[in-house]
Amino acid sequence: MMGGTATEIAIVGAGIGGLALALGLHQRGIPSRVYESAPELKELGVGITILPHAMRELTALGLQDKIVAGGVANTQSAFFNRFGQLLYHEPRGTYAGYAYPEVGIHRGRLHTALYDAAKERLGAENILTNRRCVGVEQDADGVTLLCQETTSGAALPPVRAAIVLACDGINSAVRRQFYPNEELAFEGINTWRGVARSKPILDGHTYIRIGSIKTGKLVIYPIADNVDGQGRSWSISRARRRSLADRRTIGTSRRSWKISCRSMSPGASIGSTCRNSCEIRRSCWNIRWSTVTRSNAGRSVASRWWAMPRIRCISGARTAPPRH
């Protein structure tokens, strides 16, 4: 027995994209039903920066106030060299004249805002969890969606819909069906990310970039304000390194903390932030670590992961970089 109706749209995936799509369709009077593989939706992930053009779309869905309240509106973006010296800064979001703010927020909070709105507007019965899509079958009259129960692997009754829209992420089963030989191409970049607590850096509303892709890059930004009732901020910590030799270590969270901690001077203000984020004691600041892998006479030459060890204080007096 088939479920669904031949006039509705089936959306595969209840992530940020799938839920935003469902809300947009509902706003236009187009019925849809969302099929999600996870048994339940939880606040997962780390940080996201929502730029003004993305905030415009979320505002159109009536979610701006909730998102701004759950995150941190950035006032500026600042660029520092690897020694902590300010190179350039510029206003962001409404402070730069845009009609919409630039907001840093925990991915889970953004997802929850979309999920709550979708349950309220579409009805909880139209957001079905524990349904893993395994394929689609198309004919002249519509599409049949084939699903399994995620927790048991048992086949579920096929679903009939007018259109199926795949929003099921990088491992999309629907995309794999149409492009069976497609493979991900590794480009030599490893990324580590995490969340911790700390006192605000600068004004607590600044998106900070330190270093460059040539020697190592660190990115720090807040994603929640006053989480512990003491005027502290949440942020996200992210470390990234370019190294073909390390492609098998992607996703190793322990190493991300090690890089963040060792890449900073222990006595510097930014270094203290990194050290505390490693120990998850105070705050989160988005830390992106990058080094570049180049080909030299047929050999792979990678910068060392500790290539950015001398970051000085960026919130206080600046010191001259070492000569070596």
What's the domain count of the chain?
2
Same domain (yes/no): 174, 193: no
Query: Which of 143, 178, 213 marks a domain boundary?
Result: 178
pTM higher than 0.85 for the full model?
no
Same domain (yes/no): 223, 143: no
Summarised one tens digit per residue, pLDDT across range 143-174 is 999 999 999 999 999 999 999 999 999 889 99
- pLDDT interval class at 5 (50, 70, 90): low
Asked if residue 324 belongs to a domain, the reply is: no
Tell me, what CATH number does 149's domain have? 3.50.50.60
Asked if residue 83 belongs to a domain, the reply is: no
Asked if residue 198 belongs to a domain, the reply is: yes
CA–CA gap between residue 322 and residue 316 (Å, rounded) = 18
Query: What pLDDT does 324 receive?
Result: 37
Distances (CA, A) of 292 to 42, 187, 243, 284: 35, 10, 7, 25
Candidates 216, 161, 134, 141; CA nearest to 8 is 161
Mean pLDDT of 102-123: 96
Same domain (yes/no): 137, 235: no
Same domain (yes/no): 24, 173: yes
Same domain (yes/no): 170, 198: no
Same domain (yes/no): 242, 146: no
Contact 74, 92 (CB under 8 A): yes
Rg (CA), the chain: 23
- pLDDT interval class at 184 (50, 70, 90): confident
CA–CA gap between residue 277 and residue 266 (Å, rounded) = 13
Amino acid at 150: T
Which stretches within the chain are classed as H helix?
16-27, 52-60, 64-70, 107-122, 173-178, 253-262, 269-279
Summarised one tens digit per residue, pLDDT across range 214-253 is 667 788 899 988 777 766 566 654 444 454 444 444 333 3
Asked if residue 311 belongs to a domain, the reply is: no
Mapped onto helix, strand or coil, the DSSP state of residue 246 is helix
Same domain (yes/no): 217, 161: no
Query: Which of 129, 152, 178 marks a domain boundary?
Result: 178
Contact 50, 110 (CB under 8 A): yes
- Residue 304 tokens read as 């060392």
Contact 79, 190 (CB under 8 A): no
> How many residues appear in the chain?
324
Same domain (yes/no): 169, 65: yes
CA–CA gap between residue 64 and residue 67 (Å, rounded) = 5
In this predicted structure, the answer to whether residue 196 has a pLDDT above a threshold of 50 is yes
* Cα angle, residue 33 at apex, residues 32 and 37 outer, rounded to 5°: 145
Which residues span the domain enclosing 132?
9-74+103-178
- pLDDT interval class at 190 (50, 70, 90): low
Asked if residue 295 belongs to a domain, the reply is: yes
Containing 48, the helix (H) or strand (E) segment is strand 47-50
Residue 229: Cβ within 10 Å count? 6
Query: Which of 120, 154, 178 marks a domain boundary?
Result: 178
What is the residue-averaged pLDDT of the chain? 75
Same domain (yes/no): 30, 166: yes
Amino acid at 4: G
Summarised one tens digit per residue, pLDDT across range 54-99 is 999 999 999 999 999 999 999 999 999 988 899 999 999 999 999 9
CA–CA gap between residue 224 and residue 105 (Å, rounded) = 6
Query: What pLDDT does 268 receive?
Result: 33
Residue 283: Cβ within 10 Å count? 26
Mean pLDDT of 132-140: 94
In this predicted structure, the answer to whether residue 136 has a pLDDT above a threshold of 60 is yes
- pLDDT interval class at 3 (50, 70, 90): low
Query: What pLDDT does 179 receive?
Result: 92
CA–CA gap between residue 177 and residue 53 (Å, rounded) = 32
